[in-house]
Amino acid sequence: MPYRKTHFINEHFYHALNRGIGKKLIFKSNGDYQRALQITDFYRFSKPPLKFSSFLRLSAKDKSAFFKNLHKNTPLIEIISYCFMPNHTHFLLRQTLNNGISKFMANWQNSYARYFNTKYSQKGYLFESSFKAKPIESEDLLWHVSRYIHLNPSTASLVSINNLKSYPWSSFPEYLELGKSGFTETKQILDHFKGRKAYQDFVYNQAAYQKKLKKIRNLILE
């Protein structure tokens, strides 16, 4: 694995990207996206009392109880925004424990790769190598990177801009409180805006986004 130059600091924010090797698909079905969400929720905490494979064998009732207890623990990271795309993933993270981002991303990447390779009878690497990450050094950039992440499905023409809030594999529906509960910490971003509608308008404001794109280009990791 390549040497990582980024030194992750507690309470600081980072944009992290995983991409399929050769830009190949890493999600082929809704079930794949659902598994990725489960893995995200599971591995954002330090030292879960069960292996993920053992967790999967629990009944629905026991899984609910497990997560209820797990969520009492201090997480490795806080997930500010995320988006799962057909051949890559975006996370906007705040590290809360030492080495939290490195541990979370390594566990996420390894667990999902094992699942994918087993399901599709593949061998070898699924991801390009180590994940990429860039620090977010101001609140202004934090908002714009969050918007960039949430705009990904529209930018890639997976959905129209008018249907962006219906894309189920990102944190955008949580920001708009569209009946989706999850693990995203939306307060850091939403506190800057006068309500959820104001954040939605900020995301949809393509003209302003294009003006800011050069400012955040070194943070979008594409």
Of the pLDDT bands very low, low, confident and very high (cuts 50, 70, 90), residue 3 is: very low
What's the confidence (pLDDT) of residue 2?
44
Count of the separate structural domains present in the chain: 1
- Domain of residue 31 covers 13-219
Domain assignment present for 2: no
CATH of the domain at 122: 3.30.70.1290
Domain assignment present for 125: yes
Tell me the average pLDDT across 41-60: 91
Domain assignment present for 128: yes
Domain assignment present for 6: no
What's the confidence (pLDDT) of residue 107?
94
pLDDT in tens, 91-100: 999 999 999 9
Of the pLDDT bands very low, low, confident and very high (cuts 50, 70, 90), residue 61 is: very high
**How far is the C-alpha of 105 from the C-alpha of 201, rounded, in Å?**
31
Of the pLDDT bands very low, low, confident and very high (cuts 50, 70, 90), residue 49 is: confident
With b meaning 16 or more CB within 10 Å and e meaning fewer, what string describes 22-49?
eeeebbeeeebbebbebbbbbbbbbebe
Q: What pTM, to 2 d.p., does this model score?
A: 0.89
Q: Which two tokens stand for residue 85?
A: 């795309």
Mean pLDDT of the chain: 88
**How far is the C-alpha of 217 from the C-alpha of 144, rounded, in Å?**
11
* pLDDT top residue among 50 and 2: 50
What's the confidence (pLDDT) of residue 21?
92
Of the pLDDT bands very low, low, confident and very high (cuts 50, 70, 90), residue 221 is: low
Residue 47 has pLDDT above 80, yes or no: yes
* pLDDT top residue among 134 and 222: 134
Domain assignment present for 197: yes
